Amino acid sequence: MKTIKSMFGKGLVLLLAVLMVLTGCSSDSETESAGLKKPDYKVDKETPAWKLDKRKETTTLTWYVNADWWNADFGNDFVTKQIKKDLNIDVKFITGDDTKLNALFSGGDIPDIISLFDANAPIAKKANTWALPLNELADTYDPYFHKVAVKDTLKWHELKDGKTYGYANFSNTQADYDKGVIPATTAFVIRKDVYEAIGKPEMKTPEQFQSAMTKIKEQYPKLIPFGPSEAFGEVLQDYIGVPLETKDGKFYNRNLDKDYLTWLETFNGVYQKGGISDDSFADDNTAMEEKIKSGKYASMLISGIPQKGGALQSFKTNNPGSEYIAVDGPESTVGNAPTLNQSGITGWMMNYITKKSKDPAKATQLFTYLLSEKGQTLVTYGIEGETYTVNADGKYEYKPEIKEMRTKNPDQYKKEYRFGEFFFFGHDKYNLLSEDSTIEATKQMAQWGKGKLVPHFVLEGTNPDQGTPEARSFSAIDTEWQKTVVSMVRAKSDKQFDKELKSYEKFLDENNWNKITELKTKKMEQNREKLGMK
């Protein structure tokens, strides 16, 4: 047993090596041209090509997904059965991790479609060596793609050669933010019963906040007035609206912002008076959720509210009248407006059609299909009348028997329907078409956040490239900061608070910070160019 454990620790890197060697260090696929073969059908700007392509024989596509947990089934559930029928294709999924992907590449055995999970990984940055440009694919095989693909998303993922190779799912654009399509997922929340018992005080200035926390501590000695630990870094910075960049558009170290530090000092004061529990800093995710479920925190500054939805709902259901509600919390002391963050334009998964693709026409059709309203609706709700109906408010509702199966027998539901799981090209706006997907307990919180979201696009992907000395320094600095921020909140005195801060500043100087700042500023400029802000 012990040997197995130690082998695991030591052998992680070695294991990687094993697979790489076994699959051989054969050819490289860099020298192939993007010259695309003409399709057998006549393309049309107004009609998706899957309707035009009348080939009789079924095309089999291999699709690599860089995740072990991906459900590799195809053609047996409602969603993929329909895709199979409409497009006359069969998909063979291959799943794996970076090691497997690497093996596929070095073995030259490259699948038709590849889906990655990190748009900033070196492999994605070099997509031009192994993937086909989406624009050219669309022009040749399916011009309808241009109608359904989001221009901003395509532009964002352009590589240095000015072409886009991968399409990202869950990529939110400026328009999505402006139209309020996506809900805020950050809020300061407080238990309703506690809030009322302490007289619904204002908690916007440091003094008000501190006195409210003291009141909670006095009236509810069994509760932890404020938590959990995730509150104190970026979440707080966004909540009080620390600027994203300097006035002249350079990188700004938000951790050293005066306004932010004033609030950190306030939290340190709350800590010193017993308003923040040490346990919050040792708790793992499960322990934190357990505390939310039992309402242990009187108030919280939380992000990722949908992920905590289950815990919040559980507390609400078991304690009617005490549920967490969002109220106005800490406010900037210098008059900044909140800059709440949500998923950005980078998105999540990246989907590519490779140069080795046997049938790039079909692959392009599949991309278009999944991006179109028809495809998006299919993978989320199925087909109107068959699996869902639209109610009077225009909201989508699953048929009752499907709803029942989803709650009572989720495994069977996944097998038979698989809605919301085939999300290669998914976007939040489709999920929001239904009331079913939002959790009751978080609705008021999302409501509170309306209009407070500010895109952080300009900062996305600005970390130094993996494997460079700057990346190493940056990661060290980040580790140091995680430690510093907690130490500052837990400081026993003002003197210790300052000492922790000084030591962080010194660490910055010793670890290449100037160079990282320069690099980030440069990357921000590139971002602005892509976003058309220049």
Partner 1 sequence: MGKNNVEIKEKRPLGPRFKRFFKDFKNQWELQSMIIPGLIFMIIFSYIPMYGLLIAFKQYTALDTFSTAPWVGLKNFQIIMTDKFFWEAMVNTVAISLMKLAIGFIAPIILAIMIYELHDGPIKRFMQTISYLPHFLSWIVLGGMLITWFSTTGLLNQTLMAVGLMDNPQNYLLDAGKYWWIATLSDIWKEVGWGTILYLAVMSKIDPTYYEAAKIDGASRLKQIWHITIPSMKYIINLNLILAVSGIFGSNFDQTLVLMNTQNQEKAEVLSTYVYRIGMTQGDFSYATAVGLGMSIVSLILLVGAHKVTKRLNEGQSVL
- The distance of closest approach from Cβ of residue 217 to partner 1 in the complex, given in angstroms and rounded to an integer, is 14
Q: Return the SS3 of 299.
A: strand
- Regarding 471 and contact with partner 1 (CB under 8 A), the answer is yes
| Binds partner 1 by CB under 8 A, chosen from 208, 333, 438, 475 | 475
- The distance of closest approach from Cβ of residue 410 to partner 1 in the complex, given in angstroms and rounded to an integer, is 23
Sequence letter at residue 199? G
- Regarding 261 and contact with partner 1 (CB under 8 A), the answer is no
Is there a contact between 99 and 19 (Cβ–Cβ < 8 Å)?
Answer: yes
- Regarding 2 and contact with partner 1 (CB under 8 A), the answer is yes
- Regarding 469 and contact with partner 1 (CB under 8 A), the answer is yes
- Regarding 7 and contact with partner 1 (CB under 8 A), the answer is yes
- Regarding 515 and contact with partner 1 (CB under 8 A), the answer is no
For residue 139, which phi and psi values (nearest 5 degrees)?
-60, -40
Total residues at interface with partner 1 (CB under 8 A): 53
CB-nearer residue toward partner 1: 175 or 287: 287
Sequence letter at residue 194? V
317 C-beta neighbours (distance < 10 Å), count? 11
- Regarding 234 and contact with partner 1 (CB under 8 A), the answer is no
- Regarding 129 and contact with partner 1 (CB under 8 A), the answer is yes
Tokens of 126: 């070099």
- The distance of closest approach from Cβ of residue 181 to partner 1 in the complex, given in angstroms and rounded to an integer, is 32
Long-range contacts from 411-419, C-beta under 8 angstroms, 24+ separation: 414/71, 414/77, 415/73, 415/76, 415/77, 416/77, 416/78, 417/77, 417/78, 417/79, 417/382, 417/387, 418/71, 418/77, 418/78, 418/79, 418/80, 419/78, 419/79, 419/379, 419/380, 419/381, 419/382, 419/387
- Regarding 493 and contact with partner 1 (CB under 8 A), the answer is no
CB-nearer residue toward partner 1: 98 or 505: 98
- Regarding 164 and contact with partner 1 (CB under 8 A), the answer is no
- Regarding 126 and contact with partner 1 (CB under 8 A), the answer is yes
Long-range contacts from 12-16, C-beta under 8 angstroms, 24+ separation: 15/99, 16/99, 16/102
| Binds partner 1 by CB under 8 A, chosen from 74, 93, 105, 367 | 105
Question: What CA–CA distance (Å, rounded) separates 277 from 237?
Answer: 21
- Of 204, 437, 433, 438, nearest to 337 by C-alpha is 204
Sequence letter at residue 446? A
DSSP-derived letter for residue 57 is S
Spell out the SS3 assignment of 59-108. EEEEEEECCCCCCCCCCCCHHHHHHHHHHCEEEEEEECCHHHHHHHHHHC
- Regarding 31 and contact with partner 1 (CB under 8 A), the answer is no
- Of 287, 290, 285, 297, nearest to 322 by C-alpha is 297
- Regarding 102 and contact with partner 1 (CB under 8 A), the answer is yes
- The distance of closest approach from Cβ of residue 211 to partner 1 in the complex, given in angstroms and rounded to an integer, is 24
Q: Return the SS3 of 15.
A: helix
- Regarding 14 and contact with partner 1 (CB under 8 A), the answer is yes
Is there a contact between 91 and 74 (Cβ–Cβ < 8 Å)?
Answer: yes
- Regarding 250 and contact with partner 1 (CB under 8 A), the answer is no
- Regarding 67 and contact with partner 1 (CB under 8 A), the answer is no
- Regarding 196 and contact with partner 1 (CB under 8 A), the answer is no
Question: What CA–CA distance (Å, rounded) separates 103 from 81?
Answer: 31
| Binds partner 1 by CB under 8 A, chosen from 436, 444, 476, 528 | 476
Is there a contact between 160 and 124 (Cβ–Cβ < 8 Å)?
Answer: no
| Binds partner 1 by CB under 8 A, chosen from 147, 215, 490, 515 | 490
Non-local CB neighbours of 300 within 8 Å, separated by 6+ positions:
188, 189, 190, 226, 227, 228, 231, 292, 324
| Binds partner 1 by CB under 8 A, chosen from 158, 234, 279, 436 | 279
Q: Which stretch binds partner 1 (CB under 8 A): 10-18, 179-187, 198-206, 388-396?
A: 10-18
- Regarding 12 and contact with partner 1 (CB under 8 A), the answer is yes
Q: Which stretch binds partner 1 (CB under 8 A): 39-47, 355-363, 406-414, 463-471?
A: 463-471
| Binds partner 1 by CB under 8 A, chosen from 380, 434, 487, 512 | 487
Q: Return the SS3 of 303.
A: coil
Residue with tokens 């699953």: 398
Q: Which stretch binds partner 1 (CB under 8 A): 116-124, 252-260, 406-414, 425-433?
A: 116-124
- Regarding 467 and contact with partner 1 (CB under 8 A), the answer is yes
CB-nearer residue toward partner 1: 469 or 532: 469
Is there a contact between 371 and 138 (Cβ–Cβ < 8 Å)?
Answer: no
CB-nearer residue toward partner 1: 63 or 507: 507
Q: Which stretch binds partner 1 (CB under 8 A): 15-23, 146-154, 176-184, 190-198?
A: 15-23
| Residues at the site binding partner 1, with contacts judged by CB under 8 A | 1-3, 5-10, 12-14, 16-18, 20-22, 25, 28, 98, 101-102, 105-106, 121-123, 126, 129, 277-279, 281-284, 286-287, 466-467, 469, 471-472, 475-476, 479, 482-483, 485-487, 490
